[in-house]
């Protein structure tokens, strides 16, 4: 994949192509040569958002990356399961990862994806976190982009590591200090503003670019607020610019 | 199973769970007030006007979004007894059955305020106002039993009482 393109861009593109009910009651299974270039963190984002296409599950074959991850985190017994060679599928879509560009899903459905280069939207808030994109890899990419820069004065940037483990890791790696120095607010792990819970609840007319998974009407607060779904790289670059952009160095 | 008869509330495609019951209203396990926040943002006048036995008619993918069972529960508490939709998001469908809200997959012609009759056993929907009739596949016996007992929890509670 190109620099600053990630699993988030792949899944927004896919949901845009098949629709928010494109996989209703089905399972999205991913495979192919590109997997070797898709780290587990990206796969987790893709699998997480398979649900936004109506899917029951999003699954990947277990390769050496998966096994490394599972050995580190799994508790109890587990067994590797592979797709049958003769398995048949309702539909097969092919994507070339190197052709993917930074994407953004416009309000108010995850299927409203567009290349970031085609949008011109000023924002009030940038949200980095959630089950979808609050992993250490996400925070590293964001820190790399924002290091030595400042969040635009018109923007609230909220950074929420997805778990206490990731929070501590990000702290030890100095990432939280980078965010704080740039003017972002760092919270302890929580769902936070993703579902309009607390801290970053949008007011009337406000717009947020967010690494979360849903952008329905009123999802993050007022019914007349707007949520734009994008990758950690796009959210961070947008926080700096005050409008939705891809990071410099990303090819559109 | 009984026949249902109620007034229609009309919705379009992709009615999501955040519209049905906004997440900020899910702050308590005591859900008695959920119904009063039904469609609070999308249709603020609705919860006060819904009458017990009313029916929602919607388009594709009703209930997309969250697996939180508050969505079907809020509908029930407000008085809605059935949702008739062209298709349901699977994340909502079984939750509805489990809490005792009838989800009927069927494309019907209906406008807001029409009177609809749902014959659950025969798999028939009659629009009394328009004089039209549609058919749907009847539910399998175990689902019918669940619905008759008021959902999964009610059924399990009853069975537990029997074995004690």
pLDDT at B164: 64
A:B CB pairs within 8 Å: 56
Interchain pair A54, B65: CB under 8 A: no
- Token pair recorded at residue A203: 């007011």
Banded model confidence at residue B162, pLDDT cuts 50, 70, 90 = confident
> pLDDT tens for residues A90-111?
999 999 999 999 999 999 999 9
What residue numbers bound the domain in which B135 lies? 3-163
CATH code for position B155: 3.20.19.10
How much of chain B, in percent, has pLDDT values that exceed 90? Answer: 81
CA distance A225 to A127: 14
Nearest Cβ partner for A218 among B14, B41, B64: B41
Residue of A nearest to B16 (CA): A216
Average pLDDT (B16-43) is: 88
Does residue B20 register a pLDDT over 80? yes
What domain count does chain B have? Answer: 1
Q: In the predicted model, is pLDDT for residue A127 greater than 70?
A: yes
What would you measure as the largest C-alpha separation in chain B, in angstroms? Answer: 50
> What proportion of chain A, given as a percentage, has pLDDT over 90?
93
Measure the CA–CA gap between A41 and A214, rounded to whole angstroms: 19
Residue B29 banded pLDDT, cuts 50, 70, 90: low
Residue A194: the pLDDT is 94
- Interfacial residues of B (vs A; Cβ cutoff 8 Å): 14, 16, 18-19, 22-24, 41-42, 60-61, 64-66, 87, 89-91
Domain definitions of chain A by residue range: 7-99, 103-241
Type and span of the H or E element at B77: helix B70-78
Output the six-digit token pair for B84. Answer: 């008739």
Per-residue model confidence (pLDDT) at position B30? 62
Whether residue A252 has pLDDT greater than 60: no
The alpha-carbon gap from B41 to the nearest alpha carbon of chain A, in Å, equals: 6
Q: What is the mean pLDDT of residues A169-186?
A: 98
Residue A224 pLDDT exceeds 70 = yes
Min Cα separation A29/chain B (Å):
17
Can you give the pLDDT at residue B136? 97
Cα separation, B129 vs B138, whole angstroms: 23
A197 — contact with chain B (CB < 8 Å)? yes
The region that residue B155 occupies, defined by phi over 0 for left and psi between -120 and 50 for alpha, beta otherwise, is alpha
Predicted confidence (pLDDT) per residue in B8-19, tens digit: 999 999 999 999
Categorize the per-residue pLDDT at A198 as very low, low, confident or very high, splitting at 50, 70 and 90: confident
Name the CATH code of domain A7-99 (choices 3.40.1060.10, 1.10.580.10, 3.40.50.1360, 3.30.565.10): 3.40.1060.10
Which of A21, A52, A196 lies nearest to residue B22, judging by beta carbons?
A196
Looking at every residue in chain A, the average pLDDT score rounds to: 96
First-to-last alpha carbon distance for chain A, in angstroms, is 12
Given a cut of 80, is residue A124 above it in pLDDT?
Answer: yes
Do A103-241 and A7-99 have the same topology in CATH?
no
pLDDT in tens, B36-80: 999 999 999 999 999 999 999 999 999 999 999 999 999 999 999
d(CA A107, CA A149): 28
Superfamily name with CATH number, domain A103-241: Aconitase, domain 3 (3.30.499.10)
Region A68-84 average pLDDT: 93
Tokens of B46: 């609705």
- pTM for the model stands at 0.94
Which residues neighbour B114 within 8 Å (Cβ) at sequence distance 6 or greater? B7, B8, B127, B128, B129, B130
pLDDT, residue B27, reads 76
Q: Compute the nearest-CA separation of A197 from chain B (Å).
A: 6
The stretches of chain A forming alpha helices (DSSP H) are 7-18, 40-49, 64-73, 130-133, 136-146, 164-172, 175-182, 232-241
The predicted-structure confidence for A186-196, as pLDDT tens digits, reads as follows 999 999 899 99
Query: B131-150, pLDDT tens digit by residue?
Result: 999 999 999 999 988 988 98
């Amino acid at each position: 994949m190109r620099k600053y393109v990630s699993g988030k861009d792949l899944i927004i593109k896919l949901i845009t192509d098949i629709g928010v009910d494109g996989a209703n009651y089905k399972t999205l299974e991913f495979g192919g040569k590109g997997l070797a270039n898709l780290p587990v963190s990206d796969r987790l984002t893709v699998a997480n958002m398979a649900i936004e296409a109506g899917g029951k599950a999003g699954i990947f074959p277990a390769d050496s990356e998966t096994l490394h991850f599972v050995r580190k985190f799994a508790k109890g017994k587990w067994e590797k399961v592979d797709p049958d060679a003769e398995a048949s599928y309702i539909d097969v879509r092919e994507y070339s990862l190197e052709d993917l560009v930074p994407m953004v899903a416009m309000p108010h459905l995850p299927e409203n994806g567009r290349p970031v280069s085609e949008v011109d939207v000023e924002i009030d808030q940038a949200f980095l976190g959630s089950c979808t994109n609050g992993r250490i890899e996400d925070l590293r990419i964001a820190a790399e982009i924002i290091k030595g820069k400042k969040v635009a004065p018109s923007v609230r940037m909220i950074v929420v590591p997805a778990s206490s483990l990731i929070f501590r890791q990000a702290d030890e790696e100095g990432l939280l200090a980078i965010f704080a120095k740039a003017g972002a607010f760092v919270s302890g792990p929580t769902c936070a503003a993703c579902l309009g819970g607390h801290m970053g609840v949008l007011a009337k007319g406000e717009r947020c670019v967010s690494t979360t998974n849903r952008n329905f009407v009123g999802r993050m607060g007022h019914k007349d607020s707007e949520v734009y779904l994008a990758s950690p790289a796009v959210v961070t670059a947008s926080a700096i610019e005050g409008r939705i952009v891809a990071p410099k160095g990303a090819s559109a | 199973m009984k026949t249902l008869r109620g007034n229609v509330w009309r919705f379009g495609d992709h009615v999501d769970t955040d519209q049905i019951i906004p997440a900020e209203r899910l702050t308590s396990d005591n859900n008695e007030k959920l119904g009063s926040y039904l469609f609070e943002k999308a249709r603020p006048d609705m919860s006060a006007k819904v009458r017990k036995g009313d029916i929602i008619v919607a388009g594709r993918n009703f209930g997309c979004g969250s697996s939180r069972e508050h969505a079907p529960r809020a509908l029930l508490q407000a008085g809605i007894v059935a949702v008739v939709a062209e298709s349901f998001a699977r994340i909502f469908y079984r939750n509805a059955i489990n809490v005792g809200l009838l989800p009927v997959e069927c494309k019907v012609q209906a406008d807001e305020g029409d009177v609809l009759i749902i014959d659950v056993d025969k798999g028939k929907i009659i629009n009394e106002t328009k004089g039209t009739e549609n058919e749907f596949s009847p539910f399998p016996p175990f689902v019918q039993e669940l619905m008759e007992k008021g959902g999964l929890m009610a059924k399990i509670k009853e069975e537990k009482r029997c074995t004690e």
